[in-house]
Amino acid sequence: MGLFNKNKGNTGKEKPKAFDGERLHSRIERMPNGAPQMTALEQAIQQADAAQDHFWRMMFRYEYACEATFHDDPPKAMPYASEFSSIYEEHPDALPEDSGAEAYLMITQIAIDPIASLPQIPFSQWENLMERFMELIKRYHIGLRTYWSQYCQFYQYVDKEKAYDGFQRFWRTGRDGLSDCRACERSLAVKMCLMMDDWAAAESYSKIMEQGRLRFCSSTPQRYWLHYLEYALDHGDLKEAEKRANALYRKTRNEKTDLSYYGAILRCFSFTDLERGAALLEKQFPLTVRMWDQKLVYDFYKGAWCFCYRLAKERDTISLDFPEGDFPIWNVDGVYRCSELADWFHGQAKGIAERFDLRNGSDYFTKDLELAGKWLD
């Protein structure tokens, strides 16, 4: 991240301090990603707040936001992004000048990003925050490329022509310190091209990644594989889908942010591998419980619906160990009618799709769900 002045060498002579953010940070970053780190970071935030150490008040919030975004439930980053913003505006000198501004813009982006996945947040509020983001871009002279990236990612659910226009602006704008990794940017490019049904253009962006000539971050190549997998499923290309699904399945990490991957893989397994699909559904369903990010939930439920629908053609019931209390149609014996499961997942996905479309003023999600159903029979 480059924002910390880390000094981890232990000479064994450190003296105890009332609040030692550096030491806390060093402990936390060695913990497993996701919930363990986030719980520890919450406590660290409380301690930093109590100590009024503005540097660590911001940095622990930043770390929490990153952890939620990349390993858990991205909207959980939003309260801390909001608090970071207030603290930074009040104490801009608590962070180093350059990296402080960069962190401020980054966490603003982290707050904008999940709005697309929260149908309860009105479109106008997304616009307001984007406007604020633009003000910060002008103030600090970085982040314009990221602005257009956010723009096209939201607009893909609203107006695909505008989204593609935003993507072209994004690609034309120069990279800066706030930009995503190059592989993630190309993954977005693949998505935009496939959205426009331009397979050849998508391939031109992905070629360098397919050839292994681009360094991947921890989120890639999964992202562009997902886009190819969804496109293949939407177009009934099971051969391409199976190839991508198997590869993607191997790269998953049992994290909440993988739910979109699991959903698409489930769709594919409904045609190619019912046994693995059943195991995946049982194991990963608990990740959806009490999720804020409705897009991730929608993707998983869409896949679960497809899987259960296809399964119902093969058999009446299936034994699944779903968590008691977290599954509304939970059965004590763990045996479920496949059609009943399919209906429940479809109902959930449909409900979310309608809320998204209502907020976005479009029919993107409703049509997306219909498209998934098109190939089921």
Partner 1 sequence: MENAFHFQVNLGGMLDILSNHLYKSPDVFLRELLQNAVDAITQRKILQPSWNEGEIVISLNHGTMAFTDNGSGLTEEGIHQFLAVIGQSSKTDLINGTFQQGIEDYIGRFGIGLLSCFMVSDSITVHTRHISDKRGYIWTGLPDGTYTLNPAPPEVDFPVGTTVILKAKPGTEKYYTYEQVEHLIQYYGLALPVPIRFQGQRDKINQIPENFVQTSQTQLLGFGSWVFGTNFLDVIPIHTKHLDGAAFILPYETSSVVKGGHRIYLKQMLLTESGDRLLPSWAFFLQCFLNTTGLRPTASREDFYEDEALEQAQREFTLEVSQYLNRLSQQEPELLRKIVHIHFQAFKTIAVWDEDMFRLIFPYLPFQSNKGEITGEKLLKTGGFPYVADLNKFRQLKSVFLSQGKILLCAGYTNDEELFQKMHYIYRFPAFPLKEQDLYDALQEPTLDQRDAASWLVRIAGQSLEKFQCGAEIKQFLPVELPALYITNDDDGVFRKIQNAKQTANEFYSDIMSSMLDSIDGRNVATLFLNMNCRLIKKLCSQKDADKVKSVIRILYVQALLSGGFPLQERELRMMGRELLNLVGEDSYDF
List residues near partner 1 by CB under 8 A. Answer: 10-16, 27, 30-32, 35-36, 38-40, 42-43, 46, 49, 75-76, 78-83, 85-86, 89, 111, 115, 118, 120-122, 125, 128-129, 132, 290, 292
Distance CA 259, CA 164 (A): 25
Q: Which is nearer to partner 1, 40 or 280 (CB)?
A: 40
Q: How far is the CB of 15 from partner 1 (least distance, A)?
A: 8
CA 320: distance to chain centroid?
27
Q: For the CB of residue 21, give the shortest distance to partner 1 in the complex, in Å.
A: 15
Answer whether 266's CB lies under 8 Å from 280's CB: yes
In the complex, the smallest distance separating the C-beta of residue 83 from partner 1, rounded to whole angstroms, is 5
Q: Decide whether 2 or 12 has the Cβ nearer to partner 1.
A: 12
CB of 80 to partner 1, least distance (A): 7
N-terminal to C-terminal alpha carbon distance within the chain: 48
The CB-of-107 to partner 1 minimum distance in angstroms stands at 11
Closer Cβ to partner 1, 79 or 96, answer by number:
79
Q: Pick the closer one to partner 1 by CB: 78 or 245.
A: 78
Nearest alpha carbon to residue 250 among 262, 241, 239, 235: 262
Cα–Cα distance between 356 and 363 in angstroms, integer? 9
Q: Looking at beta carbons only, is 115 or 311 nearer to partner 1?
A: 115
* Minimum distance, C-beta of residue 213 to partner 1, in the bound complex (Å): 35
Kind and range of the H or E element at 65? helix 54-71
Q: 171's torsion region: left (phi>0), alpha (psi -120 to 50) or beta?
A: alpha
Closest approach of partner 1 to the CB of residue 182, in Å? 30
With respect to partner 1, which residue has the nearer C-beta, 45 or 193?
Answer: 45
For 93, what's the count of Cα atoms within 13 Å in the CB-facing half-sphere? 0
Q: Kindly state the smallest distance separating residue 208's Cβ from partner 1, in Å.
A: 36
Q: Which is nearer to partner 1, 197 or 324 (CB)?
A: 324
Q: What is the CA radius of gyration of the chain?
A: 22
Q: Which residues neighbour 198 within 8 Å (Cβ) at sequence distance 6 or greater?
A: none
- Between residues 45 and 372, which has the closer beta carbon with respect to partner 1? 45
CB 266, CB 233: distance < 8 Å: no
Phi, psi dihedral angles at 337 (to 5 degrees): -75, 130
Encoding tokens for residue 130?
A: 């984007």
Which amino acid makes up residue 64? Y
Phi and psi at residue 277, in whole multiples of 5°? Answer: -65, -45
